[in-house]
Copies of this chain bind each other. A is one copy, B any other.
């Protein structure tokens, strides 16, 4: 045995943050980037290529001992091509499908007797569900893209004609909280979760997370972690996965799966003994998983969205002086309005203070406030 070489398809912020524990563990780390300027290129060996081109990906994979993904957009055909060539790929194509295809995911949750909202597949704008409802393009969407709130039949008919394919329709739940449970699982079958995370959304984008979920009844807090573990086993997960759920009163419903490190797990870099990025590496390498205990009672993460300010350095003068325990993570991306260009995290005991400082920091960085 000696230090393995891990290759990641994708070179954005997730690969960039995964490079840190890779280096700490001595693991050689390569990324398959889309452009010369991808965020992870500055911290890892990189190759620029087209992840939909099986030959290019295969060529990259041959220089690694193991391949993993940073996003869901790598086609199943490409992943299967790697698997057929005898390359170790985690998560496997058979598992990855559940974060790529929302209909497959709903069917699997039903099979596992996990709580789905009411759902059905619609082909021609027909439905038995009540309006308003949620319509989802089965594959290819992320960060809220490909998800629509449909108010009435004429909107559904119109959408159906636009999409020209199957739609997944779901009951629009009147949820009280949106949460995410991160879970990791290794080929050996060892699995571990972190406490559930509250994801606070604005305009369909996550703006802040709080871990653990404030006010979540203990029974429910355990049930959602058990559900995440059940899914991990049920889909034969290898790696980390975010299980997004809705809380409605005392009940939870599965929303979506993301089979990769996830925005809702960024808090774990400072807030847990083992970050989601280190855990993903341990899991895919079939190493024993790390402890997931929190380092403080609360961890609050805020996404920095691009705004009118282009200079993300100058805000440090004010923010570091104001909040000496705030931790910054820049993704090395060009600022564009609404784009996630970084995040900040703060851990501690006093939730309201943490939330207020994190909110102030992201608003100041994106230019929403001036002081």
A interface residues (Cβ-Cβ under 8 A, vs B): 1-4, 16, 19-20, 23-26, 28, 42-45, 273-274, 282, 287-291, 293, 295-296, 311-314, 316-317, 320-321, 324-325, 327-330, 332, 342, 347
Chain B nearest CB: distance from A349 CB in Å? 11
Instruction: Chain B residues near A45: list those with CB within 8 A.
Output: 42
What are the residues of chain B within 8 A of A23 when measuring CB–CB?
A: 16, 20, 42-43, 330, 332
Does A330 contact B291, Cβ atoms closer than 8 Å? Answer: no
A321 interface neighbour in B16, B19, B288, B330, Cβ under 8 Å: B288
- A295 to B347: give the CA distance in the assembly, Å: 9
Whether A24 touches B328, Cβ cut-off 8 Å, given contacts A1-B314, A295-B295, is: yes
Min CB gap A296→B, angstroms:
7
Q: What residues on B are CB-neighbors of A288 within 8 Å? A: 316-317, 320-321, 324
Is B273 a contact of A26 with CB atoms below 8 Å? no
Question: How many copies of this protein are present in the complex?
Answer: 2
In angstroms, Cα B29 to Cα A330, docked, is 14
8 CB-based A-B contacts, threshold 8 Å: A3-B313, A3-B330, A25-B330, A273-B327, A273-B347, A282-B320, A288-B316, A288-B321
- Is the pair B329, A24 in contact by a Cβ cutoff of 8 Å? yes
List of B residues within 8 angstroms of A43 by Cβ: 19, 23, 43-44
Could you say which of B26, B291, B325, B330 contacts A290, with CB atoms under 8 Å apart?
Answer: B325
- Bound state CA distance, A43 and B325, in angstroms? 26
* Complex contact A311–B1 (CB within 8 A): yes
Q: Would B311 and A2 count as touching, CB distance under 8 A? A: yes
A325's partner among B1, B25, B293, B312 (CB-CB below 8 A) is: B293
Residue from A26, A287, A293, A316 whose CB has the most chain B CB atoms within 10 Å: A26
Q: Which residue from chain B places its CB closest to the CB of A346 in the assembled complex?
A: B273
Cβ of A328 and Cβ of B19 under 8 Å apart? Answer: no
B1 touches A290 (CB 8 A): no
Q: Give the Cβ gap from A196 to chain B, nearest Cβ, in Å.
A: 20
Could you say which residues of chain B place their CB within 8 Å of the CB of A19?
43
